[in-house]
Each structure stands twice: as C-alpha cells, then as structure tokens.
Amino acid sequence: MTSKSVEDYLKALYVLSRNGKAVATTEISQYFKIAPASVTEMLKKLAEQGYVKYSPYRGSALTEKGFKVAEKVTRKHRLLERFLRDVLKIDKDMVHPQACEMEHSLSDKAAESLCRFLKHPDKCPDDEKIIPPCDLPFYSCEECMRLHSKGLEEVGKRKENLVALSALKKGQMGKIFFIRGGRNMLQRLLDMGLTPGTRISVIQAAPFEGPVEILVRGSKLALGRGIASKVFVDIESQSL
Amino acid sequence: MSCHSPSSSKNRKVDRKSGKHLTIALAGNANVGKSVIFNQLTGSNQIIGNWPGKTVERAEGKLHFEGHDITIIDLPGIYSFSTYSLEELVSREYVAFEKPDVVVNVIDASVLERNLFFTIQLMEMEAPLVICLNQMDSAKKKGITIDAKKLEAVLGVPVVPTVAIRGEGMHELMKTAIEVAQHKQYVRKPVVEYGDEVETRINNLARLIEFEKLELGYPSRWVAIKLLENDPEIRKLVSSKSEDVIHASETLSEEISRIHREPCFAVIASERYCVATRIASDVQRQNLLKTTFSEKLDWVTTHKVFGYIISIGVITGLLLWTFTVGNFLSSLLSNAFSFLEPVDPKVSGPILSIIWNGVFGGFVAGVTLIIPFVIPFYLVLAMIEDSGILTRVAFMMDSAMHKIGLHGKAIIPLILGFGCNVPAIYTTRIMETRRERLLASFAITFAPCAARTIVILGLVSVFVGIEWTLALYAIDILLIFALGRIALKVVPGKSTGLIMELHSFKVPSLSVVSKQTWTRTKSIIYMVFPIYIVGSVAVQALYALGVFEPVNNAMSFITVTWLGLPAIAGTLLIFGVIRKEFILLALVAIYNTTNLALFLTPVQLIVLALIGMIYIPCLATIMMLGKEFGWKAATIISAANIASAIFIGGIAFRLLTLIF
C-alpha cells in the first residue's frame, strides 16, 4: 500500500507529463504550491523506491511501476469525480478537492464496483479527461457487467499498459485490448475489423479533437475522437 | 419490413422451373461498386460516387440476358448482418425471405480481408452465391495480386474478377450467376468452421432449433449463430416460439464467454475474422511498392493544414465555379434570347398576349436559369463525388460538425443540399439515428440550393455585385452553425461518433460523371420547365386580374414596414414556396423587364435575396421532411425558417441602409 503523499506525487507526474516525457521539478512545485527543495527531496525518495526516474536537470518521469500506481489513483480520482458530480450532485468547486481526499482510501474492489455502478463512464466531469481503463482482463465493459451480475469469480489482472487510441501519434502501432462502450458501438467496431488482438496503426490524426485515421486489416478507417478515446491499445514497437 | 407470403414464393418457384425469370441481388460492403455494376447491367442511372451510403433503399432494374428475364436488386452497402443499422436488418431479411435466385457478393479486391468477413456471413445465410471480385485494377495499383481460382476453391463458390467501371467481366459474371441460379449450387458444408468449443455449441443449438421446428425462414445454423451472438431481433423472434431454445442459447453463449473471457458476439466476430484473414493471406500476394499517387493524395487531404485548405477549397470552389461559369453562360444565353423578346410588353393586353408573354417568359427563364447554373454545378459535384474527396472533407470537418451535434459524415448531405435539398434530406439516412438525421435535415433546409442560387445571382450578382453574393453565402454558413447549435439544445440526446471507411481516391470516370450530371439535370428540367411555363402564365394572369392586391396589403406590415421591400414582395414570397426561382420569375413577369435595378434599390435586392434564401423550404422539401420525419417536424422546421428569415431580414435591412 502506497502512502497518500506518494500517490499524490505520482498522480501529479501522470497528469503533468505529456506523452511520457519528463516533468521539470519547478512544474511540480507550482502544481503543489510548495518549495522546489521539498519537491526534490520527495522525488529522490520516490526514485529510491523505484517509482520514478529522477535526474536533477532533466526532471523526473514515471517508471512502469510508478505509472501503474499513478494510473490507478487517477482512475479512482476521476471515477469519484463522476460519482460526486452525477450522483450526489455536489457543487462543481467541491468535486475535485473531495475526490482528492477520497481517492486514497478507495479500495480496488470498490473502484471496480463504482465503475460498474456508474455504467463505465469514459471521461471525468470537469475537463473531459479520459478515465484510465481498469486492469481487469476483459475486452469490453459489457463482459465485466454481465459476469459480475452472475457472481464474479477471480479473473486475474491484465499485464499490458493500455493507452487510448486517441493518444497515439501518427505512425504509432498498437494491438487492441479493450473497448469501452455499449453493445452497439462494440458490434460496429467488431464488424469493421477491430476484434481483440487486432493490430492497428495510426495514419493521421486531425487537429481540433478531430478524428483519427487508422489502418486496420488493409482498410483505412476514420474514427471520431470520442470513439478513438474508448478504444485502448498496447503500443507496439514504434518504428514504421 | 419484408413479408413472407406463401403465395408469392409459390409463384416464384413456378418461374424458376421454367427458367425464364430470375432475380439477382447485389450485396456487399459500402462503396465496392454494386451500383456501378447495377448501372452496367440494367442501363439505369443509380447515383454512384466514391462515398459510402449512396444506396439507402434497394433499387430494382431489369435486364434481358441470353433469353432470361432478370431482375437485378441493388442492396445498400453493409459491413455485417448485425442489427446496427436499418439497412443491415432489411438486407438480411431480404436475402432470407425473398430468396433471390442468386446473391452476387461484390467484393473490393483491394480490401479482401474485410470484405470476406461479410462473405462468410452470406455463406452462413446459405444463399446461392457468386463472388464478384471487383476493383481488380485498384488492387493492382496497391500491389495486391489475387488468385481468383484459388479463392474459388477455398470458398467453394464461383469467383469472377471484374473491373465494373470499365465493364470488364460483366458478361462472365452474368453467365456464372445464371448458371448458379439454374443449378442451385447451394453451399452444403459449413465453410466457416469455428473453433471446436464454438463449433460444437453452434451444432448443438442448430440441432435443437431444427428439432423444435421453429420455421423462422432463416437457416437453423445461422439462427444458432445469431442467438449465440445475442442478436436482439432474432432473439425476439425465437423467444415468441420457444423459450427452451433461448435458455439453451444463453447457457451455451455463457460457456463460450467463460472460455474466451470475451462476450460471445466478440468471440464469433473474432473467429470470422480469423477465417477471413487466413483465406485472404492464402490467396493474395502483397508486393512491395512505392507510395501510390492515391496515398499521397490521402496524405495531403487529411493533413492538419492542407486538409482544411482543401476541404474549404472543395466547398467554396464548387460554389465559385457555379457562380462564374453560370453567370457567363447565363449572360450569353440571355443575349441570344433578347432579340426574341416579345414586342408587346403590356400586361393588361388581351388574354392571348398574356398567355404568350407568360409562356415565353417562363421558357426563357428556364433556359437562362437552369442550363447555365445547374449543369456546371452538377458536373463538378459528380466529379467531387466520384473522386473520393468527400470522405476526406467529412474527416476534416468532423470536429466542426460536432459543434452542431453531428459527426463528419453529415457534411456530405449538406454539400448535396447545395444542389437540391430534397435528395440531400434523403441522403441523411447515412446518419445513424433519427435525431441526427433530423438535425442534419434542419441544417440542409438552410443550404442554398441551385434554385436559391439562381435567385441570389439573378438579384444580387447581376445588379449589386459578386462580393455581396459571397457575403450572403458567408452569412448563410454562419447561420447554419448558429441555428444548428440552437437546434441541438431543442433536440436533446447523445451524438454518435464517426466510424467511416476512407476509400482510395479514384480518377473520376468521364462516363459516370457525364451520366450523373445528365440524370440530375434531366430530372430538374422535366420538373421545372412545365412549372415555369404554367407558373409564369398564372402570375401574369393573376396580376392582370388584380388578385395580388389584398395579399400584398395583408403582408405589408412585414414586407414593407419591417423588411423595407416593395409591397409586391408578399406575392413573390408566396409563389416562392412552390419553387424558389419563382421569386425571380414572378418579379420579371410582373415588372415585365429583366432590368430589375429600375424598380428595386440595392438594399431591397440584397434583402429580398437573403429572405428568399432562408425564409421557408420549398414545397418539395417540406413534403420530403413530412415524409421522413412527420408533419410536426416539417411544420416546426418551416416555422423556424420563417422566423429566422424575418428576424435576420429586418436586421439586414437596417444595417444595409447605413452602408448604401
């Protein structure tokens, strides 16, 4: 079990880092509104524990271990935000700080149940950021919901680090592992060839939150950004 | 819904024996060339173009081939037999219940794997099948070679390679289709063997279905697969007859999901694709090749900068081309006709002269308005459609269209709306939900169609200036977005995301483009000329009789006081509902001159054009709206048009008075 402050730091790195790039210490100190010196001290500690790769001048980046923790906390945070806003109708300004408090004590099992209860939401209420996927080894939420209604057995965990297709850059390739969404959209994507394990590559991504053009099974497909942010892939070797 | 009456199927069987009459259905993915083949075979002019969803309802045509009377059915393009869309549902019911003698599965050879996914489903339907391996030329351009004989052997279905656009392989295709129809080479063994754990369960369920004698009209194996996929329609159908089968299917699909840790329908889709992949890699060879020209075009047209420039260029280019060429041709034609202008311009003359004036005026208006504007517009539109650029415009415009609750594909009917609103509203069927079709249609009613363009050009370009014409169009596009956003608030609901195949670019085919232009122009000429001539006579006669006075007076508060137009505008606008050009036509008829600047100030000309552009959809469009969405929706949309026209027209009048 990681401590609250560790989780907060990892989450900050997760949020501040763009495309896995290192984050400068000053950026983190501005984020928390505390002195850079204490940030540095904390980062060194995190590096010792293997959560962060820290270099004094280049900044710090999450390790795979750190990424997993950060993603999980961020997921809990954004799920809680949805819950507080949509179900409890809590004031907009209150949602974020409240979720920040609750995210650390929410167990993994409770987070899974919350996700099902909220009907697997895809974005958080304030800034439309994607809620990271869970690590249950399902291809779709449909399966999770259905299996759970029949008494969920132990299903194990997914090993891959999944990224939303919408976050992929031009030329990147990935293998589809998880699609968030209801039956209709899922069926349509399956029919177009996006079956589990299918390799896709991104040909082009339009600006202004425009669609993503992908190559799948020899055909070119345009997916709106909303749909692309519900398709999760494991990024493969980046050369193309 | 297709109904399955026993008498009709009996008749069909009689026909089959005599071998005289055959029905051949064309089925396949969107944009693989079904309509091209349909046109080739039947000589009809189904609209074709390089974007998915042209055929929204099945088309029927006749063909006489080597002593056979053949009916060809062109089914809409679909990717699967699930129930994602109405087209998929209708198509599968057609294949199952109407039992065409042969289904010709048209396949895009350059995307073999994805197309085979649908072929497999057709085989599961146990339809007598011929595969038409189309677009062999574009496959070759992509460096793909396909061994058709091998594909035939693997599938156990005749395969005919074709290049439909050039008519290659059509004869062979028909011969093969007739052969299959006559010998009924049904596929007996299941070609698609799923994995053992799935296959045994399909067989068990199929046996149970056969045992229960459900008589659903569909093959038992297919029903079994659909039940395992939890297809809502089939489930409903079966549950009304046998709860046992439903229970069995639930247990079995549950077992399959447990084994694969995926929903059963995903397992089945994956397995189908597995088979498709295996077959495709067996029969095709991908040669290494340089980037094709089409690829480069693709890169440019979806580029983050050039893509927008090209998209906007396509839309404005289409309009500018129509304006400039139209203006030029129009003035040429008017000059040619001017020496024929009737010598006696009096409206109050004897009846005969009124009629002659009217007929002649209507005819001249038809020739000088329709020919010069409509033909160039449709010519370029057909080229744009055939090239494949429309899907790229849809791609680039997706995020903008989301602002009015639609996705990128909606730009396609909107652009078609610049030609004529009626087919454009029909084309909104490419959108997924009723709500989206309604929103798109609402936006379309503000798209300045060819008729409105004629009014705008006739009033504004000629007498005020081309820059004001462009300003009017700019205002109109802003208006579409502003009102679209309001409509979005009024019609709540979730928007669907874009899922669209981007097909390869093609060099527009001369014959397709010219045929398409002619088909569209012809339908307008046939419809418009009689209306013009009769309408023109009616306007002159009614004017001579003084019928317009009370109408004009009744509307004068709006037309004169609020909009600053002459009182006659009341009459014009009422006639304009029938067809928008009547605004111009009636004006010419009433003033009996084509030099409208003598009677109207520039401000009045601009305001009248603006009002004419947006004040109400024409009668044909209202009918179409009523047919597609019900009269309530049609009335509301029309009312919204009227309200916004009055509002904007009044503001425009006051602002323009400051400028001029």
Note whether A192 contacts B501, CB cutoff 8 Å.
yes
In the prediction, which pLDDT does A20 show? 65
Nearest CA in chain B to A198: B270
pLDDT digits (tens, 9 = 90+) for B183-221: 765 555 556 778 888 888 988 888 888 888 777 788 888
Q: Angle of helix A108-117 relative to helix A141-149, nearest 10 degrees?
A: 100
> What is the rounded CA–CA span in Å between residue B601 and residue B599?
7
Count of domains forming chain B:
3
Which range marks the domain in which residue B441 is found?
306-659
Q: Give the confidence band of B230 by pLDDT, cuts at 50, 70, 90.
A: confident
Same domain, B158 and B215: no
Q: Give the confidence band of B3 by pLDDT, cuts at 50, 70, 90.
A: very low
> What is the rounded CA–CA span in Å between residue B512 and residue B388?
14
In the prediction, which pLDDT does A1 show? 52
Same domain, B264 and B355: no
Q: Which of B266, B302, B398 comes nearest A195 by C-beta?
A: B266
Same domain, B143 and B236: no
> What is the rounded CA–CA span in Å between residue B347 and residue B61?
49
> What is the rounded CA–CA span in Å between residue A176 and residue A164?
10
Phi, psi for A57 (deg, rounded to 5): -100, -30
In the prediction, which pLDDT does B337 show? 67
**What are the tokens at B141?**
């351009």
pLDDT digits (tens, 9 = 90+) for B115-135: 999 999 998 888 889 999 998
3-state per-residue secondary structure call for B557-583: HHHHHHCCCCCCHHHHHHHHHHCCCHH
> Helix, strand or coil for residue B514?
helix
Q: Give the confidence band of B569 by pLDDT, cuts at 50, 70, 90.
A: confident
* CATH match of A1-132 with 1.10.10.10: yes
pLDDT score of B346 more than 80: no
Counting every residue written for chain B, the total comes to 660
In the prediction, which pLDDT does B13 show? 41
Q: What is the mean pLDDT of residues B412-419?
A: 86
For the segment(s) A133-240, the CATH number from 2.30.30.90, 3.50.50.60, 3.40.50.720, 2.60.40.1240 is 2.30.30.90
Note whether A143 contacts B257, CB cutoff 8 Å.
yes
B612 DSSP β-pair partners: none
Same domain, B366 and B481: yes
pLDDT score of B494 more than 60: yes
pLDDT score of B344 more than 70: no
Q: Which of B82, B302, B503 comes nearest A213 by C-beta?
A: B302
Contacts of B402 in chain A (CB under 8 A): 209, 224
**B271: CATH:** 1.10.287.1770
Q: Give the confidence band of B596 by pLDDT, cuts at 50, 70, 90.
A: confident
The reply to whether B106 falls in a domain is yes
**How far apart are the CA of B4 and the nearest CA of chain A, in angstroms?**
28
pLDDT score of B530 more than 50: yes
Alpha carbon distances (Å) from B457 to A49, B181, B465, B469: 74, 55, 9, 7
A202 DSSP β-pair partners: A214
Highest mean pLDDT among B154-163, B289-298, B522-531: B154-163
Q: Give the confidence band of B1 by pLDDT, cuts at 50, 70, 90.
A: very low
pLDDT digits (tens, 9 = 90+) for B69-112: 888 888 888 888 887 677 788 888 888 888 888 999 999 998 89
**How far apart are the CA of A128 and the nearest CA of chain B, in angstroms?**
15
Same domain, B366 and B277: no
CB < 8 Å & 24+ apart, contacts of B309-316: B310/B389, B310/B392, B310/B393, B310/B396, B311/B392, B311/B393, B311/B396, B311/B397, B314/B384, B314/B389, B314/B393, B315/B393, B315/B415
Q: Of the ranges B30-39, B360-369, B614-623, B641-650, which one carries the lowest mean pLDDT score?
A: B360-369
Check if the beta carbon of residue B135 is closer than 8 Å to that of residue B105: no
Cβ-based neighbour number of residue B331 at 10 Å: 13
Q: Which of B266, B273, B498 comes nearest A224 by C-beta?
A: B498
Nearest to A69 by CA among A4, A114, A18, A125: A4
Same domain, B111 and B27: yes
The reply to whether B299 falls in a domain is no
- Chunked in runs of 10, what are the mean pLDDT values of chain A (240 residues)? 76 76 78 79 80 79 80 86 86 83 81 82 77 79 75 69 84 88 84 88 85 89 89 73
The reply to whether B55 falls in a domain is yes
pLDDT score of B403 more than 50: yes
The reply to whether B212 falls in a domain is yes
Q: What is the mean pLDDT of residues B319-323?
A: 80
Interface test with B, best of A179, A186, A195, A209 (most B CBs within 10 A): A195
Same domain, B446 and B573: yes
Contacts of B391 in chain A (CB under 8 A): 222
Q: Quick one: CA dihedral B648, B650, B651, B656, positive or negative?
A: positive
Say what the alpha-carbon torsion angle B416, B418, B419, B425 is, to the nearest 10 degrees: 50
The reply to whether B188 falls in a domain is no
Q: Give the confidence band of B12 by pLDDT, cuts at 50, 70, 90.
A: very low
Q: Which of B114, B400, B500 comes nearest A193 by C-beta?
A: B114
Instruction: Determine the residue type at B403.
Output: K
Note whether B497 contacts A140, CB cutoff 8 Å.
no
In the prediction, which pLDDT does A223 show? 92
Highest mean pLDDT among A166-180, B44-58, B539-553: A166-180
Check if the beta carbon of residue B39 is closer than 8 Å to that of residue B55: no
Q: Decide which of A175 and B324 is more confident.
A: A175
Note whether A219 contacts B270, CB cutoff 8 Å.
no
- Mean pLDDT for chain B overall: 82
In the prediction, which pLDDT does A14 show? 82
Interface test with A, best of B500, B503, B504, B505 (most A CBs within 10 A): B500
Nearest CA in chain A to B230: A183
Q: What is the mean pLDDT of residues B599-621?
A: 87
In the prediction, which pLDDT does B191 show? 65
Phi, psi for B499 (deg, rounded to 5): -130, 110
The reply to whether B455 falls in a domain is yes
Same domain, B14 and B60: yes
**How far apart are the CA of B274 and the nearest CA of chain A, in angstroms?**
10
Note whether B266 contacts A184, CB cutoff 8 Å.
no
Same domain, B338 and B414: yes
Q: Decide which of A158 and B635 is more confident.
A: B635
Same domain, B15 and B53: yes
Note whether A217 contacts B497, CB cutoff 8 Å.
no
pLDDT score of B32 more than 90: no
Note whether A187 contacts B262, CB cutoff 8 Å.
no
Check if the beta carbon of residue B145 is closer than 8 Å to that of residue B110: no
Note whether A143 contacts B112, CB cutoff 8 Å.
no
pLDDT digits (tens, 9 = 90+) for B124-169: 888 889 999 998 888 888 888 899 898 888 888 899 999 988 888 8
For B27, the enclosing helix (H) or strand (E) is: strand B21-28
The residue ranges of every structural domain in chain A are 1-132, 133-240
**How far apart are the CA of A67 and the nearest CA of chain B, in angstroms?**
26
Phi, psi for A149 (deg, rounded to 5): -65, -20
Contacts of A157 in chain B (CB under 8 A): none
Same domain, B392 and B361: yes
In the prediction, which pLDDT does B341 show? 52
Same domain, B242 and B334: no
In the prediction, which pLDDT does B580 show? 83
Of the residues B183, B214, B247, the one at which a domain ends: B183
Count helices and strands (H / E) in chain B.
Answer: 30, 9
Nearest CA in chain A to B79: A191
Q: Which residues contact B601 (CB under 8 A, 6 or more apart)?
A: B660
Residues of chain B with pLDDT > 90, as a percent, come to 6
Interface list for chain A against chain B, based on CB atoms closer than 8 Å: 137-140, 142-143, 146-147, 150, 155, 183-193, 195-198, 203-204, 206-211, 213, 217-227
Q: Give the confidence band of B15 by pLDDT, cuts at 50, 70, 90.
A: very low
pLDDT score of B348 more than 70: no
Note whether A185 contacts B497, CB cutoff 8 Å.
yes
pLDDT score of B487 more than 70: yes
pLDDT score of B11 more than 50: no
Residues of chain B with pLDDT > 70, as a percent, come to 90
Note whether B269 contacts A190, CB cutoff 8 Å.
yes
The reply to whether B291 falls in a domain is no
Nearest CA in chain B to A204: B302
Of the residues B253, B286, B319, the one at which a domain ends: B286
Note whether B501 contacts A219, CB cutoff 8 Å.
yes
